[in-house]
Each structure stands twice: as C-alpha cells, then as structure tokens.
Structure 1
C-alpha cells in the first residue's frame, strides 16, 4: 500500500427564539455587510477551556427545547458536541442526535444563533425525517455490533455498526467501521477511522523545544501546550512507549541514527501546529478544550507512513524505508493533528466525497502550518511531504497546484469521484485551496515554481493564503457536517466568505470562481 499519512446566548433558549426559528424555517447561512477586510465580529473568538465548557453546559441545559424548536420528533434527542463563538457573539453549536436512544449516524447538525438569541440558520447532515421502527427482531445482527440509525445516505433506516480492529500488511492499524441494514444484512457504508499519515531535528534544523524538568532530568513534555508528550515506541506497534527523557536538555543530533532526533521533530511539529490553531483561529488544542494529544515515534520497522488515531488521541510516525527518513516533517505532523480537529468539528466521514474533503483539510492546514511556522530549514510551499522523500527521488507526495502531477490525484471534480481513494479525491479541494490562495497560471513563491490550470480554462485570481485559510476553517467548524460532499463544501465556503467578507465581496466572488476552476458549480 502506498503511503498516504492516514486517513450566555448559546442556544435557542427563549420562546421568542424558538418561535422565530420555526417561522423562519431551517435555512442555512447568514449575511454580513460587504467589507474589504474580514468583518471583525465574524472571526472565531479565542475561548478558554472554562468559557467553552460554560457554553457547552448552557447548550446542554436547553437541548430539549432546541430539539423541539428544530422540529425534531418526540423520539429524537440532541447531544451537544462542540461550540464555536464568533467575536460578535454569534454562536455555532454542533449537536449529535439520537433516535429512540440509538445513535443517529449522519444526524449531526449545527445551530447558528445571534448574540440576541435570534435564530440565524441550521446546517444539517441530512434533511430527511427520521421514522424508524426500532423494535422487533432484526434479521441480521453482526457479532459485536451496535444498533444505530443510519441517516448519512438515503432514507434513514435501522442498522448495525460493526468495528473491526486489525493491522494492514504495511503495519498500519485499521479500525474499519461497517454499517449494515438491520433488516436485510446488506452493507450500507464502510470507512476506516484510522487516518493514514534546543532540538536538533532532521527537517527543521536547530529549534527550541518546550520541555519539563523534574529532579534534574528532562522530558519531552510541553506544559506550555496542554502537556503534550512525545514517546519512543522503539519499533513496537502497540502501547504508548517510553517518554523521551535525558539528563540534559539537548535532543537529537539532526540524523535519523539518533532516536531522539525524530522525537525532537515530532515534538516541534506538534508545538507549531498547536500555536497555529491557537494564534490564527483561536482554537486551543485539537478539541478546543486546552487538552493535548501525544506523539509516538519509531513505530514498527521500515514503516513508511504516519497516522492519527482518535481512540488514543495521538499521532504516530514510522521511520520510513530503511528507517532512514522518519515521517516527522512539519506538514506531516500538522496533517495528522488536523485529522483530530476535523473529527471533533465537522466529523467528515472518512469515505466517499466527505473522506476526500477530510484528507484535503489535513493537507490544507498541514500547508498552512508549514507557512506559519516560518522555519528557514523547511520553507512553506504547496507540496505535501516534500521533506520526507517517500518516493525516493526527491519529489513530494502530493501537489496542491496541480494534484494530478503525482500520477493518481484528481485536479477536478467529476461524477463518481467519491468512489476512488480519499487521498486522491482530496486533490479537488487541495486544488481549490491553491487557486483561492494564489490564483491560476505560472508563478514563483518562496523560490518554488507553480503552474496551476483550471477545469474550464478560465483564470482565477487568488485572495491570499491567509484569507483562504480563514474561509476554510470557518466553513469546517460552522457549516460542514459529517456528510458534506463537494457541492456542500462549495456552499459552506461561500457561507463562510459571506460571514467574513460580505456577500458582495471580492473574496466571495473568488471563492465561487475557484470552485468553478475545479468543476464544482
């Protein structure tokens, strides 16, 4: 298998708000006044862990009223999952749903409310009404499966979700989710929840690392960033491993031969990723709650991959072919951590078009973090994995300006693209992000030459990477859901551009034009 890198007014709490919601209907989106710069209030505010927890408690205390106001049935209940609050007080509360006490897969939704409590819209993973008979004997009950309602595709129906944990031939762990029709036993959907992909580092040069000292010994523990720790698996494939520790505060020698070097790279990558999300998007930690993940390096032997695993809330890195090129570069670290961010926001199902968007989101923010880190040894570019030399010839793993240059990724959308590997269908969104950031045609950025085509041959003028990042992040955290496909992603980014810059802005027009450039209209 080729390496991929895995795979207080917060709710509708008043009668006025509920009535307004029902009267308005369940439309999606919000409006903002046109502006050349981002509308100050529309950007996400930086919430402390306690502020976020308070908003979640507020939403949870009135979830029954919110469900009723949304027109959900008597058997449906909401479960609060996440919340984003804009600087102007607008709140975006994300919910999971249950039906007759069963989890509803694909039933997630986001409710948007103004500071006043007025309803601004709701974004749903499905618009289908749920009316499922959950009683009686099912004809097909897989061993170890849980009963669910499947609503992510087609008419909601009673189903079973089975999770099989295994290991692929190359050593990558697998957590395969299979959903089957509870009445017929037919397979409805399948996806894998494991998403494959002073330190002296391999890729970033000499860098400062945040470490902890106790009793005269140092460890790779970053108490400045939620207590993030980096562990050495010593070629094992299970468990946490051993926390890197040393008598001095010097880590690695810049070569793969010193086990500490990969640890330094991974620890640094986690730090710059944390800093990016906190400083650029106001999100402290992957879940936005100030809690750190952890990193594991030296996974397996000659393991040419890296992956994020929600079940351990951790990133894991192999050492590459011949154990000579650890997969611990900045963009790979940020790519893996972003899978966690996606899991705790939009929750894009890792299959079909939503899976391609999941992978692209990790590439987009892997690139954004690399630029933001401003490290002279690993200069920002629109390539993925260019430092780790997986191909053995110095070429990147993926190209954002023209994804098809890797021989498998797709530049543009076409009917049926959801049927290919998510690492290749991701090319459409990667290409969109490049076009929105930099525009089409030839150009040189940081000494790297690019030449980005468009599906229709028409030019696209970029708005700059900083604005493109803001649009994608807001779309991901407030308008995308588990079932978002490319058409939905287009609408989500247009809604985000409207919020941030106005419906008549150049940014909105550029977003629309960039999607046309990849054949999403």
Structure 2
C-alpha cells in the first residue's frame, strides 16, 4: 500500500506478538565453525526464536544429489541434530532454479495437517546432478507445537468474533467475511485458529480490510492486522467488461496505438484489437498480459474485475479522458515495471509465471476522492486523486511500489504487521524507486532519486510532495523507530518502513546499482519468510550477497549500511528508557491491575500461546508467577486489591461447554471460584475490593448493561436501575460502588451521570448529572474518598476535562481543565489516593507522525495542580494503572513491542 499522509487507522484489537518473539535457548547444533567476525560479515549460524531450529545456516558445501526438492528434503532429514525438523511436517510450496544454476526449495510447515502461519523453511542448492550441493538453509520452523487441530467453538461464533473487528455498527451490517480455513498461530505450543478476511462496508468502518485469526478453541481473537489491500470495498461497474484479463479468450489481437498521458503528451501504447474493430488497453506483446480497467469513479472489490470495463476506444487513438484518469500512465508504467523485473532480475511477472498484470484506475472510496493506491492480491488499484494529488498511477515509482507488493506476496509473503510489514513496505519503496531511476536515467547522486511519489502533487516542490516517503532521510532504529502498539498501523508498517528501505538505498548508492538490485531481489525471493524482522532481513541480504559472489569488502559495505541505520541484533536494548520493565511482550487483553505492591497482567506464556494471568512484585525481587489455572481457557481483563484478583475467562472443552466466566482467586494461591457464567454475554469492568467483587454484564431482556455485585463472598446479583438506564463503567473501593450511568433525556439526547452507590446502605448516595453541553463522559474511578471522571465537550472543540465529586454528593471540583496546555486527549484515566494519571496526545497529532506526538502519560495531584510527565520514554504509553502514591504501571511501546513497565514518581520535564 502507498500511503501519502501516513495516517494509518487503528485496528481495534491487539496483535499477538509473533513478530517479536523472544530468543529461546537453542540446542547444540552441528554446523560449520564460524569465521572471525572481522573477516566475514555473513553469519554462519543464527539461532531460531522460540524454536530449536536455526533461523539461518550458511557456509555449507554438502553433497545433495537428485531433484532439488528431493535433495532438500533428504538433506534436512539427514541432519536431525542440526535442524530439529520432522520432514513429515513439510510440504513443498515452491522450487525455483535460476539461470546461474542455483535452486531454492521452499517448504511450508504443517501441524497435524493444518498449516502453521508463516512457518516456511528454505534450502539453497547449487550445481546439478551428482555435483549438486547444499549451500545454506534457513527460515522459520516451530518446534514444540502441540496445539489441537480440531475446533470446539462453533463456526458461526468464530465468524461473528471476526466480524466484531469492524467496530462501527453501520459498517459491520454490510461487511463481508471471507473464510480461509484453519491455521496454527505459532509460538509456544501454538494455537488453532480460523483465518478470516473482514472488509467493512463503508468508510465509517475504516475502509480497510483486516486479516483476523480467531482462536478456534477459546473464541478469542488471537491475531489481527491490516490486509495488503487498502482498496475501497464494494464493486460498482460501468458496463460489461470488454475482453478479459488476458485478452486471448476474447479473440483480442496485438496492436499499437496512441494515447495521451496525464499531461496531455501523446504516448505510444501496446493495445489489443477486438473482433468488432474497436481497441482496448490489453498489451499482449509480453508473456504476461497487461490489462488496464477504468473504475469510472466507482469502488473496486477484491479479485480480478468482472463488471468493470477495460479502457476502450473505437479506434487506436484514445481520447484525452484516457490520460486525465491516469489510465495511460498505469498501462505504460505497468509494462516498464514488468520489463525491469524480467530483464534485470529474471522474474517473469508478479507471480514469476507470466500471470496477468491487471490495473484499475479512477477508483474512489465510496464516491469520495481517493488519494491512494494499493495491491489487493490480484491487481493494482489507483485512486483518481483529488484537489491536491494527481491520479496515483502517474508516478512510476508508485506503480513499481504496488507491483512489488505483488512480487513480495508471491515470494516471501511477508505478514503486514510490525517489523515484518515495515520490511514489506520498505522493499516496495526500494524497488519502486529503483525502477524509476533506472527507467528515467536518473543518477543515484540526484537529490530527488530517493523521493517516492514526488510527482504526485499538483502544487509544491517534489521534496514537499514526497514528505516522509524518502529513502535518504537517514532514520535509524535507535533514534527514530516509532514506538506504536500493534493496534496502530499494524505495529508501524508504514511508519517505520524507511528505516529499512533507507539501508537498502544506501547499499544501492554504494555498490553498483544492478548488483544491489540483484542481491536484494535474491534476499526477497530466496531467503525471507513471512515472519522475518529487520535483523532477519539484514542477514538475508548478506547471505544473498555471499551467494552472488560479493567480495568481503563489499559484504562489509552492506553490513555497514545496516549498521548505519541501527539494524543489528539487540537494537531494542539500545533505545534507552527511564522505566523499569515488569513483563516483556504483552500479548493479552485488558489493562494491568495493581495494588499493594503487586501487579496482575494478562499475557501469554509465549507469543501465540493461550492468554493467562500472571502476577509479580512491582518493586522487583521476583519474576512473574502464573495466577490463572492451566485449563486451556483464555484469561484476561484482571482486577486486584493486592490480596485477591478477579478476571474474565473464556473457552471450553466442546461447542456445548464454551462459556464466559468471572473468576476470582487469592494472590497467595488456593482455589479458583466462579462468580458468573454465561454462554454468550461477555462481562466487563471486573473490580475487586476486600470481600466485594463487581462487574458489568448485559441484560438481554432490555439489551442494556447492569451492575452485578458479589458482597462478602456471596453470589453475584444485579443491582436495580431505572427503566432505560444503561451502565458504561464500574468502579469499586472500600465498600463503595461507582459507575457512569446513561439514559435518553427529554430532548432525545444522551444524558450521562457519574454515580456513587453505598453497599452498606444499599442505595445511591451521589449522582452528578453532566450538562447537555458535554458530549461524552468517560469511565469513573473511586479513590481518596472521591469519584473521578472525564468530561468531553460537545461544542466542536472536543476539550476533555477531569473532574471529581465527593462520594456523599456534596460537590464537584476540577482536577484538570480542558482548556489547559496539558489537558487530556481522551477518557484514559487512572488514579491513586494522591494523584490522577491520564493520557495526552494521540497516535497522530497535527497530521504528523513522530514519537513526540504519540500518547504520553501525565500526572496531577488529586486535588489539582500542575501536571507532570510520568515518563520520558519516547514511544507510545498506554493502559495506565495507578498504584499507591505517585507510582504508575503502564504498557509502553517504546521498544517496538508492548511491555509492562513502572515508574515510582513522575519524571517531570522531558
């Protein structure tokens, strides 16, 4: 995808950290001895992550006669102590032999007949016949998988959970769900999931397809990330298609014509002549047919067009409108990109098999101007632009970028998430620019050579038009990696791409460009696998360079380019932070719960494993211990008072036993007690204090939420509420309940009221009805004898204030004014008996993405005062939980993953 504004949408659910797996202790491996680091920068052995199988082994020269596939399988089977691989779990998915005599065999791992997500292992051979030898092997193969391969959650429930990733109800009503079948999400023992592609029905749902993996035995989302496609949903054609994607089936014959480009200049075009004597944009002069369609201002669905018209004219000279919508540029540029890959790199088309190359121009987003472009798995889709941008097909580098996504999908298949997705975008950036400078004869020393999409803007300089999409911006991991969580831009796939593409571009500027292109293409086609990160990408390029005969000096130059951009093993540890890490790589649900020097957090034993609850000391001195039972269910959304914890559990042993429960247990151990169970209604906002536990759950008879209370160990019972009143949040402390109540007022508008309820008296003791000018009231919190909440104005200014009210109803005070310089940005709030901690900033601020603009935590005394920064960590700071005094625990994304961290007092100014 090519994003001009670099403003990715939030996804609404966390991504299992399959892309930031911790290093497992590998078994001893029988591999050649590694040369000294100062003589050979190519690693001889790279240990696997969360697996005993090595990620990369180079420097092999071992005989492997037979067909490449048979030889590769036999080689792996002959060295079980080296690779720890069961060849019976491998299925060959590709075997390619290059003109240089090298072969690459790509295997897919299966577990019990179910494919393992991203698990591909590759064997590289050279020579043929009796002289054929294995040079290197590597990839991802996950040992220790024991996940069941039979689903227990009903298929309809799995589909509905996937559909729930579309958060807007209107968009959800018309959304489509495509079922791709079962897959094992790797990590630890793995987890069986069902893979769906969900596409929202209109822009309110984000306009972006999402890949959703739902745990088939727990009924929870295990993994979600953006699809490759950013094309608008729906299909609105403008007449029957003339011809087909290949043209041959309709009797189309090769012809030549002229057509104006976007600027009105006549261009020679290879076209097709139909039997009726008319002409269309079908280029049949290459092995891969190139066809260009016109969306005529409509939306474009996934798949090859069936009800869109191929660009068409009665004669071989096409009208001016052909250029205005960007059709001529798309058609000609697609041919240039094809020629680059075939002539320079030896690749026949996007799929490597001369498959059809299809472009669609003049697309909109549900009738609104579309200033973007995408590859959707089968074709390129180009927006018609708007008052600021020209049609996106006008830029050759953008066309090269989108078509390279097709090459990536048909080779490494990089997952569009985290560093892996950023590397996909980086490769598309690199080859898009390489194609343009090669075709246009632009020297690498030209200051504009590293700009992407610099010719798209209708006004302004090329530099301003390219903005942050430039490969010469010298970004590094340590200084510039944007610390966003996995639900923002799928973990920064666009935000962090130029760190990696910048290193690749430096290689191209240092080495001969043709040599660089061939090395980087070989790394993509022969070494990278779907879950690789930046460091794996570095190793892939170095190994490819060794294959292609680069000298040690050249290989050191390549390594130096990656070093200059901070892409080297362990780079996350060099970023620096002023917080202390309690738990690394959070993958579970819900905010942390803290009290009395203890923390409770939902995470996984290993990425991809079942979510479980862990607890540990805030002050250190002991590692995390498991709190939830090992029952195969998912456990999350915890609460604690420092003595006991309560949480939500989901799962079951069969379709009839799947349920959602509220559980509780002492932090010291002992039996787990069930407070509430439902086969369909998810409880929320679990709170615990002393012997009391409260939570929200839906009342299906009125489709509204009710407060449930378990007092002093008794059963959980709902509290009465006036008819038509809903509960939006629950808080509990020292025998007092609080919640935010909502109902429809006399004027038809929602009325909000933070409310206090005395458990001992069995009645409401305070209710603060918020004025109608306030558009939204956030969750309420009880602390220090007061109820604290946020109010967001509804007058268009969207100012958020923090207020507190006495529990006896005696009055309200302002804690933080919405007009202040450090006012809250949303309803994120936590409080101790001394201080209130809240969030300032958004994931994008003032249209510019930077670590400085990412959400940061601020703290202010409960009685009001001057806010201070909680931490100077540069990345995004999320899900805070206040303990005693000024201590705060939160989820921090500075290191490019989500870690549970703590600070005892504010950092002050940063």
The TM-score, its normalising length taken from structure 2, stands at: 0.45
Equivalent residue, structure 2, for 1:209: 269
1:466 CA drift (Å): 2.4
Q: Deviations over 1:358-410 (max 9, x none)?
A: 0011110100110121279xx97211111111886652141110066xxxx97
- Relative to structure 1, is the Cα distance of residues 117 and 68 closer, same or farther in structure 2, using a 3 angstrom cutoff? same
- Relative to structure 1, is the Cα distance of residues 83 and 368 closer, same or farther in structure 2, using a 3 angstrom cutoff? farther
- The answer to whether the 8 Å contact 1:410/1:426 transfers is no
Distance of 1:499 and 1:145 partners within structure 2: 36
Equivalent residue, structure 2, for 1:15: none
DSSP-derived class of the 1:142 partner: helix
Does residue 204 of structure 2 align to residue 156 of structure 1? no
- The answer to whether the 8 Å contact 2:388/2:459 transfers is no
DSSP-derived class of the 1:137 partner: coil
- Relative to structure 1, is the Cα distance of residues 519 and 275 closer, same or farther in structure 2, using a 3 angstrom cutoff? same
Equivalent residue, structure 2, for 1:232: 294
Equivalent residue, structure 1, for 2:213: 179
- The answer to whether the 8 Å contact 2:474/2:565 transfers is no
Equivalent residue, structure 1, for 2:138: 123
Equivalent residue, structure 1, for 2:56: 28
How many residue pairs get aligned? The number is: 448
- Relative to structure 1, is the Cα distance of residues 120 and 26 closer, same or farther in structure 2, using a 3 angstrom cutoff? farther
DSSP-derived class of the 1:264 partner: helix
1:79 CA drift (Å): 3.7
- The answer to whether the 8 Å contact 2:371/2:385 transfers is yes
Q: Deviations over 1:186-242 (max 9, x none)?
A: 433222223448332126954332111234322111112322110111011135210
Deviates more, 1:489-498 or 1:116-125: 116-125
Equivalent residue, structure 1, for 2:103: 91
Equivalent runs, 1:16-55 vs 2, <5 Å: 28-31=56-59
- The answer to whether the 8 Å contact 2:84/2:143 transfers is no
Does residue 132 of structure 2 align to residue 132 of structure 1? no
Does residue 465 of structure 2 align to residue 395 of structure 1? yes
DSSP-derived class of the 1:304 partner: coil
DSSP-derived class of the 2:148 partner: coil
Matching residue within 327, 346, 353 for 1:263: 327
Distance of 1:390 and 1:484 partners within structure 2: 38
Distance of 2:205 and 2:404 partners within structure 1: 22
Equivalent residue, structure 1, for 2:599: none
- Relative to structure 1, is the Cα distance of residues 246 and 139 closer, same or farther in structure 2, using a 3 angstrom cutoff? closer
DSSP-derived class of the 1:487 partner: helix
Matching residue within 256, 274, 282 for 2:338: 274
DSSP-derived class of the 1:178 partner: strand
- The answer to whether the 8 Å contact 1:26/1:121 transfers is no
Deviates more, 1:111-120 or 1:339-348: 111-120
- Relative to structure 1, is the Cα distance of residues 508 and 480 closer, same or farther in structure 2, using a 3 angstrom cutoff? same
Equivalent residue, structure 1, for 2:91: 78
- The answer to whether the 8 Å contact 1:302/1:319 transfers is yes
Equivalent residue, structure 1, for 2:126: 114
DSSP-derived class of the 2:369 partner: coil
Matching residue within 352, 357, 362 for 2:418: 352
Equivalent residue, structure 2, for 1:38: none
Does residue 492 of structure 2 align to residue 427 of structure 1? no
Distance of 1:139 and 1:391 partners within structure 2: 55
Equivalent residue, structure 1, for 2:18: none
**Structure 2 unaligned spans of 5+:** 10-28, 33-52, 62-66, 160-178, 232-257, 569-910
DSSP-derived class of the 1:161 partner: strand
Distance of 1:62 and 1:138 partners within structure 2: 41
DSSP-derived class of the 1:385 partner: coil
DSSP-derived class of the 1:381 partner: coil
- The answer to whether the 8 Å contact 2:158/2:216 transfers is no
1:496 CA drift (Å): 1.2
Distance of 2:264 and 2:563 partners within structure 1: 37
DSSP-derived class of the 1:270 partner: helix
- The answer to whether the 8 Å contact 1:177/1:192 transfers is yes
Q: Deviations over 1:299-353 (max 9, x none)?
A: 024111111011xx10011111149611111111111111010001011100010
1:170 CA drift (Å): 8.5
CA RMSD of aligned residues (A): 3.6
DSSP-derived class of the 1:109 partner: strand
The TM-score, its normalising length taken from structure 1, stands at: 0.76
Equivalent residue, structure 1, for 2:116: 104
RCO comparison, higher one (Cα < 8 Å, 6+): 1
DSSP-derived class of the 1:402 partner: coil
- Relative to structure 1, is the Cα distance of residues 463 and 59 closer, same or farther in structure 2, using a 3 angstrom cutoff? closer
Equivalent residue, structure 1, for 2:559: 512
